[in-house]
Chains A and B, each alone.
Chain A
Amino acid sequence: AQTVTQSQPEMSVQEAETVTLSCTYDTSENNYYLFWYKQPPSRQMILVIRQEAYKQQNATENRFSVNFQKAAKSFSLKISDSQLGDTAMYFCAREGGGSNYKLTFGKGTLLTVNP
Chain B
Amino acid sequence: GAGVSQSPSNKVTEKGKDVELRCDPISGHTALYWYRQRLGQGLEFLIYFQGNSAPDKSGLPSDRFSAERTGESVSTLTIQRTQQEDSAVYLCASSADGGLGYGYTFGSGTRLTVV
Which residues of chain A have a CB within 8 Å of any CB of chain B?
Answer: 33, 35, 37, 42-47, 50, 52, 91, 95-108
A91-B43, A105-B42, A108-B42 as given contacts; A43 in contact with B109, CB under 8 Å:
yes
Whether B43 lies near A35 (C-beta < 8 A) is no
Whether A103 lies near B104 (C-beta < 8 A) is yes
Name the distance in Å between A90's Cβ and chain B's nearest Cβ: 11
**Which residues of B sit under 8 angstroms from A101, Cβ to Cβ?**
31, 48, 50, 56, 98-99
18 pairs, CB–CB < 8 Å, chain A vs chain B: A33-B103, A43-B89, A43-B111, A44-B108, A50-B103, A91-B43, A99-B99, A101-B48, A101-B50, A102-B45, A102-B48, A103-B43, A103-B93, A103-B103, A104-B45, A105-B42, A105-B43, A106-B42
Q: How far is the CA of A99 from the CA of B103 in the complex (A)?
A: 15
B101 within 8 A of A: yes
A43-B108, A104-B45, A105-B42 as given contacts; A95 in contact with B56, CB under 8 Å:
no
Whether A95 lies near B103 (C-beta < 8 A) is yes
| Contact among A43, A45, A100, A104 for B99, CB-based, below 8 A | A100
**Which residues of A sit under 8 angstroms from B105, Cβ to Cβ?**
47
Whether A95 lies near B42 (C-beta < 8 A) is no
Task: Name the residue of chain B whose CB is nearest to the CB of A97.
Answer: B99
Name the distance in Å between B10's Cβ and chain A's nearest Cβ: 10
Nearest 4 interchain pairs by C-beta: A101-B98, A101-B99, A33-B101, A45-B106
**Which residues of A sit under 8 angstroms from B101, Cβ to Cβ?**
33, 50, 52, 95
What sequence of 0s and 1s flags, for each residue 79-107 of chain B, a beta carbon within 8 Å of any chain A beta carbon? 00000000001010100001101011110
**Which residues of B sit under 8 angstroms from A45, Cβ to Cβ?**
91, 93, 104, 106
Q: How far is the CA of A67 from the CA of B101 in the complex (A)?
A: 18
Name the distance in Å between B59's Cβ and chain A's nearest Cβ: 8
Name the distance in Å between A110's Cβ and chain B's nearest Cβ: 9
Q: 6 new A-B pairs (CB below 8 Å) besides A44-B108, A45-B104, A100-B99?
A: A33-B103, A43-B109, A101-B50, A101-B56, A101-B98, A102-B33
